[in-house]
Structure formats: structure tokens, C-alpha cells
Structure 1
Amino acid sequence: MPIFPTASPRPLPVLLAALFWILLSLGAMAEQDGYVGSTICADCHVEETNAWQSSHHALAWRMPGRDMLVGAFEGEVFEHDGMRTEFWRDGDTRMVRVTEKDGVTTEYKVHSVGGVAPLEQLLLETEPGRLQSFDVAWDVDEKRWYHIYPDLDLPPGDGLHWTGPYKNWNARCAECHATGYVKNFDPPSARYNSTQVEIGVGCEACHGPGAKHLELVKGGHSGDMPKSYGFAVDFSDTEAGMQQCAGCHARREAFGGGSPAPGTAFHDAYNLALLRPGTYHPDGQILDEVYVYGSFLQSQMYAKGVGCGNCHDPHSNERVAEGNAVCTQCHSPAGNPDFPSLALKEYDAPSHHRHAADSDGAQCKNCHMIERTYMGVDERRDHSFRIPRPDLADSTGAPDACTDCHTGQSPKWAADAIADWYPEGRWTQSHFGTALAKGLADPVAGAKGLIDLAGDSEVNALARATALWVLSNAGDAVHIDDIAPLLKHGDPLIRANAVSALRAIPATLTAPYLVAALEDPSRNVRLAAARAVVTIPPDSAPAALRPAYGPASRAMVQFLKNQFDFPEAHLQIAGIALTQREFASAERAFQTVVALDPHHGDAWVMLVRIAGALRGEDAARKVLAEALERLPDNPALLDLARQL
């Protein structure tokens, strides 16, 4: 059924018309050309194909077959939080019968499977073309069904329920589990007609379409083949290769409606997640699942030119060596000539790690790559390769590798031990986490430290960008001279968040910088500028900024058209409408949010307030009653009920 409210809004102004009606009229996205399929590559590249065929990339998305879900669909029954799931086979077809906690029972054929290990996740087609990731997954090692989110109450209708928008495979997952994927979402019907060159991460998902390569080979150009061999990505360029990996191995916001063309610069396709609360700890350690890239950008290894391929075989996805050997290929008395700044000394010895040889504490990864478990059974390691800093516990609240293992001890105990072992070690140096923690707690009080952090060239770009984002809430504590130099920084991540920081400064001062940022070579920067511009009321904008509203609205249209099946996109439209005092338009956008995610409390609160402002208290009470049916315990809604 359509996701859009049917009430007719009053006419929209030009800006909101661009942001809404153009979106509704968009056609399907064209498929990319030049793909030939992985089977063609296998004819010549036998060794690489053999390594790839059993990799997590090749098996990232599969149609049902005998080699998957081994031991499952033999009549098992799984019950959790009032939901009952039955698994069986109808001939060769795997079937799932789901009885939700509201008593509704539905049967599904298993459409396909995402992942290969340590879990396999069922993809169920809930309506033609719409695939949803089922929350009861198969534990490959233990051969059991389990719920991925056992501690969450996710009733039908909740956006996080397995049938909701946040578990939609087409929108949230398929881009990184397929090759040449195009989402093809049709807003008026709320239907998907998604396509892909092949399911699974094939050769061309990383290298790019192979037609040009075949043309060069067949034309007899093997002797003078270009460095990229006719492909879009030159993996001999470490940074280019890593950005290609990062497209999927990163927590990020995508700008497009499917797989970006391989070779697209990361910041032209994505907005990288910052070190925000709930995602990372203030010192940059992983908290939620962040998929490696944001962690690796914080590392000294990245700063010295190390790339993904130095540790991982790109075709098998396996590490290039086992255990500490993957580290000692560089960190040893012999060193590695590719990285001449390395200290040539013994690391894989008790004199360095201070633990018994062959113990858990002697494993490099246990001290320098803390491990966290996601989706119930999927163990992921922090790729920031940090030196343990238990001395930061009091100022950042972050964990440390030492007390991860020595659970009965305190961070102070660990900090004292490190100080004794390494009296002049890294723990004696300042750490960006202290400034970020203070700034996150109080952006105004922490502004000085954040400004210093943002301008510190010795600190990684992700931490500096995060400092700039926090400064956007620091008001008068931020001056234009603090931000202006960073608007010309070489890293698009820093430039984009410097634009965000301009929001703390009056538009009379920032107008020329915002106008310039709309022409930045990086799409991420241009979008940051567009967001900033469209949230400044035109009637109060300086004259220098008014010509920017057209380019800004066009940039937002281009972005939002690809995200129209996301509640987040409609929240942005609602925010823009509120800024423009177009309350009817904002109401319509918030209605779309709760149509997509009926349990979105903030959207309901705004709907109650807008109803009251436009139609009076009786209308507000009516909307509030509807909201409380969905969210009877929401504190903000209950507070509104007391006021009304």
C-alpha cells in the first residue's frame, strides 16, 4: 500500500515543491553498462577465481541451495517474546511460518540467504519485490536458530521489527551484497523493482565493469595494457583500493540508489559516520557495529600508508598470515622496506607484551584490536590498532583492552601497570578522546579543546571532523576564523564537517563560505553546504546567500530522491519545512515518517504540536491519542498529554 498520507496539503512554495513533487515524479534509475559477469573472468583468472569462490564476498547473497542452512528446516520451532517461527521443507522449497505476538500467522518461502558465516540470515519476500531480513537467523557453528536482537521488544509495526523499513534488504543491505545493484524504488506505489548484475560480491563489484578489459585483451593490447587493465579501479594505488573496500566496509550514509560505479571516490558516494555517541566511544573505540573503515582511519598504520591488502588477501578475504605473523611481517627487528619509519625491534616477545608466550595476552590482536560481538554471534575487531589507554577511563568513560581480559581489575590497576612497564610510553601523551568527551558533554564549555583538536594536523581526520561536528552546537564560542582555514583542507571529510560547524556562526558571516562550498569538488561537501543553506530561513538570510537556495535545493533533491523509502529522508524534509515555516508541508513529511515507522516518537511529538498550531487543541488531542496507541509509555508524549 502507498506510504504517503492522502490528505491534500496547501500549495507548497518553490523550495519545498522542488524537495517533494520532483521526488514523486522521478522514474527508475538506469542500470549501469559494461558488466560481463564473474563467470567470464574465471576463464582467464583461474587462481583468483578459486580463491574468491568460497569467500564471504562470493557468498554474501545466495539463492537457496544444498550447501547452506545445513541442519535446518527439519521441522524446528523457535519461540521468542511471543513470536513463534516454524521451519520446514515443502519438497525442495524451504518454508517459514511466522506467528507474530499479535496472533497473526503468515507463511513465506525463503527467497534467498544473506551471509555465509558465522550466521546465515533468511530473506523473505513480504510483497512482490520487497525483501526483508528475518530476525531469527541460523547459527552456522552451533547449528541452531537464534534471535539476533533478543533483548529488544520489537512488536509488529515497530520500524525495527523485521518487516519494518530498517530491516528492508532492498534499501539497507543489497547494495553491499550484490554486484551492479540498482534499488529502483517507486515512491507513489512504495514498490521495489530492484535489479543487479549478479547476487553476491562478484569480480566487477570491486574492479568495475569488465567490458573494456575484454576489449583490450581481445584486441591484442596485453603488451601495452594500461595500468588499470581497462578497469575502473587501479588497486596498485593503495588509497584508491582502500576507498573501494570502504564503500561497504564502513558505517556510512549512502548518497545513491544502488551500487556506485566502482572507482567512485568514497566522499562522492557516502557520508562517513563520525565518532558520535552510540556509535563509537569518545576515544574512537568501536561501540556499535561500524564495519572497520572508520576505525582504520584513526590508526597510525593508515597514516603510514598501510592498506587493506597488506593484511587481507583481496580474493579469499583471508588474512595473509595467521596469528601474530600478520603483524610481524612489519613489526619485527627486520621491519618492512615498504614502511621505513617502523621501529626495528622485537614485538612478539614477553619483553614487549609482558605476558607469557603463547598465552592470550601474547596475541597482538587482544591488546591492540579489542573484539565486540554483533548480531548475536558475529565477532568483529577494532581496526584502529590502538595502544591500550586505561588512563583515559576517568575522562572518556571508554573501555580498555586490559580490563577486557582482566575483568576483576580496575582501569587504574591497568594504567599503573603500563606506567611501570613503559614509563615514557604513549600513555604520557595527550589523546583526542579527552577533548571529544568534554565537548560532547558540553559543546560550549569544551569549545576551546574542540577547536584545538580540529586544527591539529597530528590527529586523524575522523576525530578532527567529529570535533567540527560537535562545534556546530557551540554557538558564540565558535568564531569564523576558527573554521575558515579548514574549509580549504585537503580531506573532504574535514571540509564537509567544517561546513557543518558554520551553523554555529551567524549567516551574515558564513554566506560566502557556504556559497563557495556548494561548488566544492566533493559531493559530501556540497551536500553539507546544501543542508546548511536550506535550513536558514530565506526571509532572514543575507542577500549574498539568497542565490544559493536554488543550487542547494537541487543538491538536496538529487540526494533525497534516492532515499525516499527511508524515514530519515522525510525527517530532513520536515526539518526544512519547519525552517521555512511551512507547517502543512512539515506535517505531511512527519506523517510519512510515522507511516514508515509508526513507533517514531519524535515524529509523533511534532505531529501533535503542529496539529495544535494549525487546528487547535482538539486536533492535537486526536493526534496524541493515535500516538499513544502506538507508544503508550513514551515520556515526551505523556508529557504532552499532561499539558493538553
Structure 2
Amino acid sequence: MQKFWIPLVLWPLILLLGGPNTLAQGGPEYVGSQTCQSCHDGAYDAWSGSHHAQAWMEPSETTVSGDFNDAVFEHQGRKTRFFVKDGRYFIETTDVSDGPKVLEVTGVGGIAPLQQYLIETEPGRQQSLDIAWDQEEKRWYHLYPDQKLPSNDAFHWSGPYKNWNARCAECHATGFEKNYQPRERRYQSTQAEIGVGCEACHGPAEAHLKWAQAPQSYASSPFPGTNEAGLLVSFSENAAETEIQQCTGCHSRREPFQDGNPMPGSPYHDNYRLSLLRDGLYHADGQILDEVYVYGSFLQSRMYDKGVRCSDCHEPHSASLKAAGNAICTQCHSEAGNSRFSSLETKSYDDPSHHFHETGSESAQCKSCHMIERTYMGIDGRRDHSFRVPRPDLSVSLGTPNACSDCHADKTASWAAAVLEEKFPQSPHRRPHFAEVFSAARKAPDGFEDDLLEIALHAEFPGIVRASAIDLLRARATPGVLAKLEPLIANENTIVREAAVSLQSQRPADERFAAVADALNDPVQSVRIAAARQIIGAPPIGVDESTQRSAQTANREWQAALIAKLDFPETHTVIGGTALALRNPQAAVRAFQEATNLDAQLIDGWVMQIRIHMALRDFAAAQFTLQKALVANPTDPVLLDFKRQFTQQ
């Protein structure tokens, strides 16, 4: 037993001191996309002009689209000038501390509808400028036009939340490793290739190259996990999930577990924790709200449930749609149908009898009604991939958006609901919706347990909806609720299992270990890490040695996931909370200090430091911490309240 507990007490300190940033992985080497061209020239040509290939580029005459001809952009009284000198690209701006400063452009992010520019603010640290180039209007614009942040704000373009190494590069590069050095707060990032190259999806091709050079004499790859052609990923007609999970590693809102790109072909849930349908990210009915990308929406759809995959609509190398207009949808939604989806009703969908708009008009486009578009980054339109039927009736009762009102802004949602009822009087799509429960449960701290339980236990709901219902039950997790949901820890759906395990945090400490013991051996890492989080501070009462060993392994996985994110302020708040659960206040203070070092506006981090100092009766340290917090946040009401308390003592 002693052997088990010592590492648990010490590991928050180990994390704060820093440790290995990546798990050693022996595998084939990357060879570069150029190497693929000689055998795969068609795929290479399609890829080379794609958004993937241009996701990250070196600055040059052919890659920089913005006006660097001494163009000046003003925002909130701050001036930024863009110019070229000796073939190199520079930005002179007053939007920095001790400005103005001249900073060199070190990278180009993206191609359309906007292009961003990267600046190395210190060796190895790449930051993404908030002023971007609008490719359609040919103008400079600010991504956050209403903001005027001080340069020491964590959300300033030079702050941790706009850091390219931590927040962007993984999905804009191939074979990326962040390599953050926590002691120095420096990056030593590397990548096999900037841009999303061939090997970002197919995996490093060293063994495949040897196979291609001599396929007859190639016996087998020396690397475990590779297929008969020496590749780590096997895309096939019978492996839709392999393809989907490869794409959604980047096309999802999620928390990463790795230091950079996971090895292509490894399962999504071994590398990420998917964001659920939470308030602020999604509307109550699951429609996109914040920038959540695609996966969380797609998982809600009937298309996903029936086996539709990304490449059914998107050509994988050019990343463009496989057909224009409604033809992309009538591949299946037509009188001819599609033999792969026998349950789909065969009828004429691209017809006024279905869409009741003028044929060929924008309103008659399938996407206009079934894939609402929301704009992010000022001009970047992204479409909801849940492929839902418009529900203006829910807009009337809940205030959720609907596609009809997107176009008919001069009409009410009640009008739209009446039109749909007239056009489709027998529609099954007006039945009760989980949105009605989610909307009410988000607003009320109590009640709705039975309704949420019904959703969580209903096997016909998508996994992400069931998991989100479980998540909403956290504040309502009575012993009865916990007992009814405990069987879901063994559910076949990974997202449901993870949510059910996380719910066990509401159990008394002496019950948690036994409740999640089986999950410590779950085949999926996201579930094992969720279980590891629950056993912190929970005594292993009645637990055998085998389970204790499983707990140690799961804890190491969680440690590695946290180490990979030591440049995230939010990681240190987790470490601080863990240290408190282990009754290690000194480690907790150090963790919350690092959180506020990285993000001085993280009020909760300051508050926790002050409270711990006060609990330890170190009032001088508490007052000193409060003074530092007020320097960074002079008007914050919580900190001012602490100041009043100290003044009155």
C-alpha cells in the first residue's frame, strides 16, 4: 500500500518541476510529401493546391497574400504597418509592450477565406497576430474588432491563448512536437513538415517507401502496427470509423493528451477528450454556437449513425466537395437512392415539393436548410454537420436558432413553424426533443433528474447527447442517480463511458475507487484517464494489488497528458486542485502561482493562492499575493472584496 501512495503524493511536484514532454515512440520516420509524388502524382497534385497543403507555409512572394506594401492598419488607436525589406516580411506595431516594435513574419497560416501571420516573439515562440488578411475583400481586418487588450492580457495576440506552438501548430503541421520547456517557459518545437502533408493522414512512410522500392522482396515492416504496405493507417471501405477518427483529430473541439501530433492511425479517444454539448459551446438542441468545428456535430447526425464518412462528401486529397451544389446530397437523397443506405427513403428531394423554394436558388440548396452556417474569425463561415431538420417550433419555446429564420429575418419563428406544419403536416420531426430538457436543466440548479436520466439511459440517442445528459447530472448526482448510471461505465460507447466515470466524482471519497476500478483497465485511454482523476484522494478500500497496479498505470497516463500541456494555464489549475485533494498545500500554491504566471487574469488562480495562504495562517503571503493580483486586475470585484476583508482586520 505504501508503494502505491508515495507516487500519488509526489507527482504534482514532479509536474511542476517539469519532466519528459513526449512518450518515446519507436516507429518509421517521415519522408516528406515530395517523396510521394513520383508514385502518387494525381493525389499529390490534388493535395498540393489544397487548404491542407497551405495550412502553414514559409513567407514568400508566392505564399503571402496580404498587402505588405507599407500598408497601415489602425485599430482602437493602435497602428500596425506591413512592409517588405530585402525580400523578408515585417510588421511594425504599437500593439505591444514598449512599442512600437518591428517584428519579422516567420510563418503564414492558411489560404482562404483569411490568412494569418506568425511572429516569433522570442526564440522558438510563435504567436498568431490578431490582424488578418481578408482574401475576398482584399483588406486587413481585426479578428476581435471590439477588443482593446493590454499587452499583458493572456488573450492579447502575444499571450498564451494565441500561441501558435500550443494552440494551432498541431493541426497545421505534420509530425509536430511542441517540446515545451516548463522551467524556462520556452518552446523547442519541431515538425517533419509544415502544412498538413501526406503523412499527416497516412502516417510516416519510411517502411512504405522501402515496400514501394521492392514490393516483391519486401518481407514485412520492422515496425509494429504497420500493414502489408508498410503504412500505419489502413483506409478501406469497411473501416469508416478509421477514416472519421483520422480526420476529426483536428476537426473537433477537444483536449489533447499528447505533446503534438498523435501517430496517425491511433484511435481518437486515445489522444483526445471530446468537448460535450455544453452551454457556451452548443445551443441546447446541439446546434453549433462557439467554434466547435465538426466532430461533435457529426456525431449527433443520422448520417454518422448509418455509416456515412467524410470522404462520401469530401475528396480527401483536394479537400474539396466531390460534387457541386445539391449534387453532393443527391448522391444518396434521390429517387435512385444509394445501395449502401437501404433505410433511406427514395424520393425526389431536390425538388420544390420538398424544399418549396425556387429551383437553383440559394434557398433551394440542401445546405441552406440542413447545415446552418455560422461565422467565426470575423469572416470564416462554418457549417453545422449535424444535418438536422429545421425546428422553428423549438425556437419559439426555447430561443434556439433555426435555418428558416436565418434567411427570413423579417419573419418570426412562429411564422416559420406554421409554414413547416402546413407543408409537412405529418412530419415525425416535431416530436419532443432533448433540447427541451437541456435548456431547462442548464438554467435551473435543481430538478429534471428524471428527464436527464431518461436521455442518458436511452440507447437510441447519439452517444454525445447521452454523455451530455450525464454531464448535466453532475450537480444533481444523488445516490439514486449514481446507482442508476453506474452500469454505463461499461457501455459500448466510449463517450458515454467516459461521462459515466467522470460522474463518479460526486461519490464520497471512500466509494469512488471501487466504483471506477473496472474503468482503470478500459481499452480506451480517455476513459482510463477519467478514472484516474476520480481516484485522487480516494482510499483503495478492498482493492486488490492488480487493480492498484492498473491505477498506477492510469495515473501515469494522466500525468503524461498533463505534462504535455504545462504551457496551458488551465493545466496548472488542475494540478493545484489535485494537490489540494492530496492535502499538499505547498504544491497547490506552486501550481496556482504558475497558472497566474501564465495568465495574470485568471482570478480563480489568485483566489486559490490567497485562500491557501490564509488557511495556513500565512497572512503576509496572502496580502502580498493579493497586491500582485490587484496590480494585474485592479478593478476585479472578487479581489477588491478580499482587499476590504484585509482592511477590516
TM-score range, shorter chain: over 0.9
Is 1:178 the counterpart of 2:180 in the alignment? Answer: no
**Structure 2: segments with no counterpart, 5+ residues:** 221-225
1:241-265, Cα deviation, whole Å (9 max, x unpaired): 1100010011110000010000000
How far the C-alpha of 1:504 sits from its partner, in A, is 2.6
Residue 15 of structure 1 aligns with which residue?
A: 8
Q: Please say if residues 66 and 133 of structure 2, whose CA atoms lie closer than 8 Å, have aligned partners that are also in contact.
A: no
| Separation of aligned partners in 1, 2:139 and 2:112 | 13
How far the C-alpha of 1:542 sits from its partner, in A, is 4.2
**TM-score calculated relative to the size of structure 2:** 0.92
| Greater Cα offset, 173-182 or 23-32 | 23-32
Residue 283 of structure 1 aligns with which residue?
A: 285
| Separation of aligned partners in 1, 2:62 and 2:296 | 34
Residue 100 of structure 2 aligns with which residue?
A: 105
1:285-321, Cα deviation, whole Å (9 max, x unpaired): 0001111111111111111100000000000000001
| Separation of aligned partners in 2, 1:344 and 1:166 | 48
1:214-250, Cα deviation, whole Å (9 max, x unpaired): 2222223499999774321122121101100010011
1:441-494, Cα deviation, whole Å (9 max, x unpaired): 235412111111111111111111111122222132643331122111112111
- Partner secondary structure for residue 381 of structure 2: strand
Q: Please say if residues 478 and 505 of structure 1, whose CA atoms lie closer than 8 Å, have aligned partners that are also in contact.
A: no
How far the C-alpha of 1:186 sits from its partner, in A, is 1.3
Residue 248 of structure 2 aligns with which residue?
A: 246
Residue 233 of structure 2 aligns with which residue?
A: 233
| Separation of aligned partners in 2, 1:426 and 1:228 | 48
| Separation of aligned partners in 1, 2:505 and 2:513 | 11
Within 5 Å, which residues of 2 pair with 1:334-373?
A: 334-373=336-375
Q: Please say if residues 227 and 234 of structure 1, whose CA atoms lie closer than 8 Å, have aligned partners that are also in contact.
A: yes
How far the C-alpha of 1:101 sits from its partner, in A, is 6.7
| Greater Cα offset, 143-152 or 265-274 | 143-152
- Partner secondary structure for residue 518 of structure 1: helix
Q: Please say if residues 20 and 563 of structure 2, whose CA atoms lie closer than 8 Å, have aligned partners that are also in contact.
A: no
CA RMSD, 1 decimal: 2.3
Letter of the structure 1 residue corresponding to residue 564 of structure 2: N
Q: Please say if residues 18 and 554 of structure 1, whose CA atoms lie closer than 8 Å, have aligned partners that are also in contact.
A: no
Within 5 Å, which residues of 2 pair with 1:76-95?
A: 76-95=71-90
Q: Please say if residues 179 and 201 of structure 1, whose CA atoms lie closer than 8 Å, have aligned partners that are also in contact.
A: yes
- Partner secondary structure for residue 558 of structure 2: helix
| Greater Cα offset, 517-526 or 185-194 | 185-194
Q: Please say if residues 531 and 552 of structure 1, whose CA atoms lie closer than 8 Å, have aligned partners that are also in contact.
A: no
How far the C-alpha of 1:556 sits from its partner, in A, is 2.4
Q: Please say if residues 69 and 140 of structure 1, whose CA atoms lie closer than 8 Å, have aligned partners that are also in contact.
A: no
1:82-119, Cα deviation, whole Å (9 max, x unpaired): 32211111120111112127652221111011111111
Residue 265 of structure 1 aligns with which residue?
A: 267
Within 5 Å, which residues of 2 pair with 1:453-492?
A: 453-476=455-478, 478-492=480-494
Residue 223 of structure 2 aligns with which residue?
A: none
Residue 9 of structure 1 aligns with which residue?
A: none
| Separation of aligned partners in 2, 1:271 and 1:407 | 37
Q: Please say if residues 283 and 396 of structure 1, whose CA atoms lie closer than 8 Å, have aligned partners that are also in contact.
A: no
Is 1:193 the counterpart of 2:188 in the alignment? Answer: yes
* Residue 500 of structure 1, aligned match among 496, 499, 502: 502
Residue 64 of structure 1 aligns with which residue?
A: 59
| Separation of aligned partners in 2, 1:596 and 1:301 | 42
* Residue 37 of structure 1, aligned match among 17, 32, 35: 32
Q: Please say if residues 85 and 96 of structure 1, whose CA atoms lie closer than 8 Å, have aligned partners that are also in contact.
A: yes
| Greater Cα offset, 41-50 or 73-82 | 73-82
| Greater Cα offset, 353-362 or 253-262 | 353-362
| Greater Cα offset, 284-293 or 469-478 | 469-478
Count of aligned residue pairs for this structure pair: 630
- Partner secondary structure for residue 62 of structure 1: coil
Q: Please say if residues 474 and 504 of structure 1, whose CA atoms lie closer than 8 Å, have aligned partners that are also in contact.
A: no
1:108-163, Cα deviation, whole Å (9 max, x unpaired): 11101111111111110011111111111111111111111112332211111111
| Separation of aligned partners in 1, 2:213 and 2:149 | 55
Within 5 Å, which residues of 2 pair with 1:208-607?
A: 208-221=203-216, 229-236=229-236, 237-442=239-444, 444-476=446-478, 478-534=480-536, 536=537, 538=539, 542-544=541-543, 547=548, 550-607=552-609
How far the C-alpha of 1:637 sits from its partner, in A, is 2.0
* Residue 641 of structure 1, aligned match among 606, 623, 643: 643
Is 1:147 the counterpart of 2:142 in the alignment? Answer: yes
Letter of the structure 2 residue corresponding to residue 231 of structure 1: L
Q: Tell me: CA distance 1:269–1:53, structure 2 relative to 1, closer, same or farther (3 Å).
A: same
- Partner secondary structure for residue 521 of structure 2: coil
Letter of the structure 2 residue corresponding to residue 76 of structure 1: A
Q: Please say if residues 501 and 530 of structure 2, whose CA atoms lie closer than 8 Å, have aligned partners that are also in contact.
A: yes
| Separation of aligned partners in 2, 1:22 and 1:210 | 34
| Greater Cα offset, 406-415 or 564-573 | 406-415
Q: Please say if residues 12 and 578 of structure 2, whose CA atoms lie closer than 8 Å, have aligned partners that are also in contact.
A: no
Letter of the structure 2 residue corresponding to residue 113 of structure 1: V
| Separation of aligned partners in 1, 2:164 and 2:562 | 19
How far the C-alpha of 1:438 sits from its partner, in A, is 2.3
Q: Please say if residues 28 and 207 of structure 2, whose CA atoms lie closer than 8 Å, have aligned partners that are also in contact.
A: no
1:491-549, Cα deviation, whole Å (9 max, x unpaired): 21111111012223334444323121111110000011111111x455xx745499476
Is 1:627 the counterpart of 2:620 in the alignment? Answer: no
Letter of the structure 2 residue corresponding to residue 640 of structure 1: F
How far the C-alpha of 1:395 sits from its partner, in A, is 4.7
Q: Tell me: CA distance 1:71–1:643, structure 2 relative to 1, closer, same or farther (3 Å).
A: closer
Residue 45 of structure 2 aligns with which residue?
A: 50
**Structure 1: segments with no counterpart, 5+ residues:** 1-11
How far the C-alpha of 1:622 sits from its partner, in A, is 3.2
Q: Please say if residues 573 and 586 of structure 1, whose CA atoms lie closer than 8 Å, have aligned partners that are also in contact.
A: yes
| Separation of aligned partners in 2, 1:509 and 1:607 | 30
Q: Tell me: CA distance 1:168–1:40, structure 2 relative to 1, closer, same or farther (3 Å).
A: same
How far the C-alpha of 1:638 sits from its partner, in A, is 2.8
